[in-house]
Amino acid sequence: MMKKFVFAVILFTLLLAPLSKLHAQSNNITATQDLSFNNSSVPQWARDLRRYEIVAIGTFPFTILFTTIFYDIYLRYNTIGLTGNYYENVLLISAGASLSLAFVDFIITAAKRNRERRRLESVSTGTYEIERLPYGEPALEEPLPGESPPN
């Protein structure tokens, strides 16, 4: 009796959902709404923490795969055999490797950011920076200082 009741409630909900006005997205977007995400309002430490989290979670499946392979090879050639805490060891090693890779990524990203900041601070004001354009891309014609713009 309970299974029939749960099935009836789920079926009733699924049949009435399209009739309701609860949509995930709406096409009624006015021109006055600002839909752009302003990344400058998020502090740098939060962006770094988010990147750390993404790298750690993203590398976990790969580290668990490689850890399982290499741990099996290690156990086979050292004739230790399977131990009782095999899965715990694989998970702990994989988690540690994922967190280590994420930390290395954080260090590399921070070093690149600091190098770029120092480079920008070393450029003196009033100097011109030459920018190379790829072949075939037209350059913008800007008048030199003291010249009149072309008509």
pLDDT score, position 57: 94
* 20, part of any domain: no
* 142, part of any domain: no
pLDDT score, position 97: 95
User: Quick one: tokens of 38?
Assistant: 């302003």
pLDDT score, position 71: 85
* 80, part of any domain: yes
* 88, part of any domain: yes
* 2, part of any domain: no
* 100, part of any domain: yes
Single-letter residue type at 15: L
Specify the residue for token string 């490797």. Answer: 97
CB burial of 90-126 (b: ≥16 within 10 Å; e: otherwise) equals: beebbeebbbebbeebbeeeeeeeeeeeeeeeeeeee
How many Cβ atoms sit within 10 Å of the Cβ of residue 66? Answer: 13
Q: In terms of residue numbers, what domain contains 59?
A: 43-121
* 51, part of any domain: yes
Q: What is the dihedral of CA 59, 65, 68, 71, to 10 degrees?
A: -70
pLDDT score, position 32: 56
* 108, part of any domain: yes
Segment-wise mean pLDDT, segments of 10 residues, the chain, 151 residues: 83 73 60 62 87 94 93 76 76 94 95 90 74 67 64 58
Gap between the Cα atoms of 34 and 24, Å rounded: 18
* Domains of the chain: total: 1
